[in-house]
Chain A
Amino acid sequence: AQKITQTQPGMFVQEKEAVTLDCTYDTSDPSYGLFWYKQPSSGEMIFLIYQGSYDQQNATEGRYSLNFQKARKSANLVISASQLGDSAMYFCAMRGTSSNTGKLIFGQGTTLQVKP
């Protein structure tokens, strides 16, 4: 069975500093994708970044980067130069290929608060 674990219910970071949000996963699929979404207090789910299991390099999107360690089954999100607008809930998600349903499995989320 596939599973996503986010062990940090809440995190604080000072504005302009970097922060790492942890995500570990479990899957038996040889090929899979990992996603991070942001959910601000307004409620919408915003796609941030994607990492494929066979990608040679860690994904980056602006201030977001993914620290992908395949052997450890971790896909941590790194936010550089935190801004007040980064305060939100962050979800790690995974999609495998074995079931071929396109289903995303989500973690429980991490709430990030950026302090001025």
Chain B
Amino acid sequence: DAGVIQSPRHEVTEMGQEVTLRCKPISGHNSLFWYRQTMMRGLELLIYFNNNVPIDDSGMPEDRFSAKMPNASFSTLKIQPSEPRDSAVYFCASSPVTGGTQETQYFGPGTRLLVL
């Protein structure tokens, strides 16, 4: 079975440009998560969807960041305008909803974003 798919794997852009990151979760998984990883802040949750509905977006840094999940098999994370401090690895993860705490999140390969 295919795991979580993310595209692009690498993105280099200039400050001020719009960046769109894409994610296809594992088929049948009801929950989708966007994380950001930096050396300074480690792994931080940006936003979490359950059945395509945003549940917790408290980690979204500011209005420049937006995320959508138009259907169960696709999500986007958009940064507009991008800034150098947005440079990071962005992970998408998905998990089944089984109830309780054993809802293992499976991560995609990540998108390495560099904003110049």
Contacts and interface: CB of A to CB of B under 8 A. Distances in A.
Interface in A43-65: 43-47, 50, 52-53
A103 interface: yes
Given A43-B89, A44-B110, A102-B31, A33 B43 contact: no
Nearest to A99: B56
Given A45-B107, A101-B48, A103-B56, A31 B42 contact: no
B110 A101 contact: no
A108 interface: yes
B82 to A, nearest CB: 20
B101 A97 contact: yes
Given A101-B56, A102-B31, A53 B110 contact: no
Given A50-B102, A97-B100, A102 B42 contact: no
Given A44-B107, A44-B109, A102 B100 contact: no
Interface string A82-116: 00000000010001110101111011110000000
A25 interface: no
A102 B95 contact: yes
Counting from the closest, the 10 A-B pairs by CB-CB distance are: A33-B101, A45-B107, A106-B43, A101-B56, A44-B109, A95-B101, A108-B42, A43-B110, A103-B45, A102-B31
Contacts of A53: 101
Nearest to B9: A43
Contacts, number: 62
Interface of B: 31, 33, 42-43, 45, 48, 50, 55-56, 89, 91, 93, 95, 100-110, 112
A43 B108 CA distance: 10
Nearest to B93: A45
Nearest to B59: A103
A53 B100 CA distance: 11
Contacts of A91: 43
Nearest to B103: A102
